[in-house]
Structure 1
């Protein structure tokens, strides 16, 4: 049976686990997602594999896309240090913190460059929200030719319907879906 991942060629990519996290997510809570992502990050670090922590940030919001919408966007109400990675992820000196200005982690960032320079051809993807930052990044990764493993219980959506649509419709076409425990077990065997 083929191994799930090769530690030398696989990176963990964590999307938007920042201090701005709200409380209305499904099917998993923000706490569950952060806990699972932190376990994955710790395991990847232990094996010397790349960990990329993706965050969205802006000084004045003038560099964030502002599309014309049929209905107004919900207010942001950003807390102090909203753009900082949550402390539970214990950002390490070896981590790559990548700042983005839009939903996807590849466009306008150095993520692809840093992955390729390290010979990475597979990413394990997790974060919030399944149907926005995670899905957009997954589609970009697919277009860049990366193999993908989706840590399905280390991500969540703004609704269960959003999460399930991406999990059941998009992910099966562009990668493999596994639980955090399945990925941790594969890391232990690698």
Structure 2
């Protein structure tokens, strides 16, 4: 069997998408300490900003209208729910994708904004692995972006869901790497 050659981690123009690291989600119980996820995401954001590369802060501001076993109907979250994690902040030049769906692309102009900038790749960090991260990764892949998931900068509400996304879903949609791998690739 022929050995695969390693792929480069970063394209010439990647964008970082940080998903749902906001006031309303930071208190949820997660598999990994959320402080660690925020710190690694902030490290990635700083690395991208230092190189004048796009940083997208994707926030959920409500829920879609569809019914589920947990309830249904569109709703808007209260003021302050979407405030970014202090460690991330929001800098001039950051792209904000406020949405009422799981994917950062759904119901936003994020795809058009990134394509206008010439972005060919998205690097994903944040919460939750099997919700916002996986939905954004699937949409990005379908839209033609190369996808990188920073596995030590994402976490989920359950171990099983997190492991399923990391081991079974993300390798089919793109590359799985660490924060150190991304920083070293610069």
TM-score for the superposition, normalised by structure 2: 0.89
Cα offset for 1:70? 3.2
Give the Cα separation in 2 of the matches to 1:174 and 1:120.
Answer: 17
Give the Cα separation in 2 of the matches to 1:18 and 1:70.
Answer: 25
Cα offset for 1:55? 0.4
Regions of 4+ moved over 4 Å: none
Give the Cα separation in 2 of the matches to 1:120 and 1:79.
Answer: 33
Q: Contact 2:150–2:176 (CA<8 Å) still a contact in 1? A: yes
2:160 match: 161
Q: Contact 1:15–1:53 (CA<8 Å) still a contact in 2? A: yes
2:43 match: 39
Identify unmatched segments of 5+ residues in structure 1.
59-63
Query: Secondary structure of the equivalent of 2:151?
Result: strand
CA RMSD of aligned residues (A): 1.8
2:174 match: 175
Ranked by relative contact order (alpha carbons within 8 Å, sequence separation 6 or more), the top structure is 1
Identify unmatched segments of 5+ residues in structure 2.
1-5
Q: Contact 1:19–1:85 (CA<8 Å) still a contact in 2? A: yes
1:112 match: 111
Q: Contact 1:34–1:154 (CA<8 Å) still a contact in 2? A: yes
1:86 match: 85
- Which whole-Å deviations, capped at 9, do the CAs of 1:5-39 have from their partners, x for residues lacking one? 13x4101001011011224101x211111000000
The structure richer in strand per residue is 2
1:3 match: 8
Query: Secondary structure of the equivalent of 1:87?
Result: coil
**Counterparts in 2 of 1:169 and 1:94: CA distance versus 1, 3 Å:** same
